[in-house]
Amino acid sequence: MPDRVLVAGIGNIFLGDDGFGSEVVRRVRYDKEPRVRVVDYGIRGTHLAYDLLDGWDALVLVDAVPDRGTPGRVEILRVEPDADVAAGLDAHAMDPAAVFAAVRALGGAVPPAVVVGCQIESVDERLGLSVPVAAAVDAAVGAVRRVVADLLRSPQEV
């Protein structure tokens, strides 16, 4: 059973719907649950990589997902952190695959991970989420809470 869960909001608030993860984690609170830490990493991939070296049992990434479906649709996806990735780490960008590669390069292990994501409408340069993605934020907050609750009570890995 995971003892420590890191919930990481990722994305760039200056690129429209890419700021989805930041908006969701701004609304997720676990003030009375010491086993859960919620952080808005934004585009700070290096910061997330170093934090993952602290031995987290599970990781929940909250992020916008590529435009492959109906904008605003919330999805829960398993991440395969052990996939071999040939990517460099950009300290000013957030690419989960590059973050996972950096964690391994630093001698750490990537914990089992889940993505709570939302289909985007646009990542044009602008502040604020599109209407369908903004409407999905509350559903995503609920999804994060369900995923974390399942992780904390489940003896199985993600």
Task: Flag whether 25 is in a domain.
Answer: yes
| Assigned domain for 21 exists | yes
Within-domain flag for 66: yes
Residue 158 lies in a domain: no
Q: What is the pLDDT of residue 2?
A: 66
Residue 9 domain-assigned?
yes
Q: Which helix (H) or strand (E) holds 59?
A: strand 58-65
Range of the domain at 48: 5-153
Per-residue pLDDT reduced to its tens digit, 45-86 = 889 999 999 989 999 999 998 877 899 999 998 877 665 443
Helix, strand, coil share of the chain (percent; to 5): 35, 25, 45
Report helix angle 96-105 to 45-52, nearest 10: 50
pLDDT tens readout for residues 102-117: 899 899 988 999 999 9
pLDDT above 70: percentage of residues in the chain: 85
- Is 36 domain-assigned? yes
Residue 87 has pLDDT above 70, yes or no: no
97 is a domain residue: yes
**Tally of structural domains, the chain:** 1
Provide the pLDDT confidence category of residue 89 given band limits of 50, 70 and 90.
very low
Residue type, 29: R
In this prediction the pTM is 0.87
Per residue, the 3-state secondary structure of 67-92, as one string, reads CCCCCCCEEEEEECCCCCCCCCCCCC
Residue-wise over 4-30: b if at least 16 C-beta within 10 A, else e? bbbbbbbbbbebbbbbbbbbbbeebee
List the CATH number of the domain containing 142.
3.40.50.1450
